[in-house]
Structure 1
Amino acid sequence: MERIVYLNGEYLAESAAKISVFDRGFLFADAVYEVTAVLDGKLIDHEGHLARLERSSKELGIKMPVTGDELMDIQRQLIEKNGLVEGGIYLQLTRGDEGDRDFSYSDEIAPTLVLFTQSRSLIESPKTQTGIKVISFDDIRWRRRDIKTTSLLPACMAKHAAHAAGAEDVWLIEDGFVTEGGSSNAYIVTDDNVLVTRPLSNDILHGITRASLMALAKEMNLTIEERLFTIDEAYQAKEAFISSATTFVWPVVAIDDKPIGSGKPGELALKLRDIYIKTARELAV
């Protein structure tokens, strides 16, 4: 059975879903996107993803073609039509198609909206037990990383380099400081159990899972420092981990082949993951 996708108001078999070669998302990566996790057939952190999508589209001047309620219904229908129990929903909103390739664009162009499901195991990920290895890599992305655009070639190249080096991901470095992972936010835990992560700015994506983790950490009375940290400080950390919509929390056990702490998944990372999943399930819609 073919996967059913959503394209501009229609639910179609994936082989029948087509967009124009002149769509600006294809030609210029003139598009934004979101990935929302699904557990037990329900959406995780939906409101946060919707708010970020609306912000990203507003920053680029791309019109939202549906309301929040309509988007909720679209996602629920996709979950039902595809029998999705665990995995994610990918959403992409492009500026649209004006019939030819041109750097300039009209403010009246009709946007293109695509959504599709991806079935995968999120809870029983082996990365939770083993942790992941990352390498440091120069951050060559543009300076509006707070907008979740589809301009992901630098991240793709960085992740390819990581895999070639026998690692699972990268930690991107700018001016000597860690910005974030290839598709995740980055954290370290110091010897005195202080949770450190880079503060929100245009330099990093404002992670929805990150926001939830920060709220949970405060409820746990953890000491949190939102500040810059160097890769050398990360080498010396007691723990390190990443967060994203579909990894939730994955421990980092080595950076540039240097073991972090004991070289095994950290206690705080695993605790935060368990609490996040429990809370997210309770609040899922």
Structure 2
Amino acid sequence: MEGLLRQHEWRIIDQSAVGLHFQALQSFGTDDTLCASVGAGKAPATARTWVHHNTVVLGIQDTRLPFLQEGIQFLTSQGYQPIVRNSGGLAVVLDEGVLNISLIFPEVEKGIDINRGYDVMWQLIQQMFADFSQPIEAREIVGSYCPGSYDLSIGGKKFAGISQRRLKRGVAVQIYLCVTGSGSKRAELVSGFYELAKKEMETKFVYPEVIPAVMASLSELFGVEMTISDVMLRLLKQLKTNSDYLYAGQLNEFELSLFPGYYQRVVDRNEKIAEMVNLKG
């Protein structure tokens, strides 16, 4: 586990302050591009940080909900843009109080097994907040949105979820961290989406029954007003500790040539959702 976080070189691509014009679809296209590039040895291990304005990221399973269109219309009526991601999991909320971190590694000879990818992110988050006494646990928090065995929580309240994306010998481990704002309010939004998109219909896939009380932000849990910038500084400090060389970068020429293709794939996958949003109008 230490071997993965410890890299000779860490490149950081910080897109946490790009603003409203940076769409979540671009983010998923960027991570796929970085997977292909790092996997091909065209770039070092890379950490990318990103923040998006009111977006609900749906998983592939969410697109199979029986009354999906009603759920989509609810989200747009609340001022949120729904999109579908290409990594696993279910609906999550992104807004200006949520910091996303992607760690992109090359698949080494023996490969990086799924749990090892999750563990390295858990380890990083523990190190980032080691000055607080509360232990950060990794276990499924029942009643949270997008529940999984690596939900990160403090005192039984979830503040982060981790997913993975594997492509072209590259591995992206992605986390959303609820830094500020109300975790339960975000959960209420997702709960409302499922209530309308599923109703009482029996489905093969089990969708979560969201309980807002089990979700919180780091500011709420630590009792300290944290900002995205505060958490960015903590991240940079840990990446510096875990490398000989940390530098800020952007997409290189090879990556810029790959990006349009990967971005288009994400856009194509989202056509169905876009049609539903347009039908509303």
TM-score in terms of structure 2 length? 0.31
Compare relative contact order (CA 8 Å, sep 6+) and give the higher one, 1 or 2.
2
Name the larger-Rg structure: 1
Q: Of Structure 1 and Structure 2, which has the larger fraction of its residues in helix?
A: 2
Q: As a proportion of its length, which structure holds more strand? A: 1
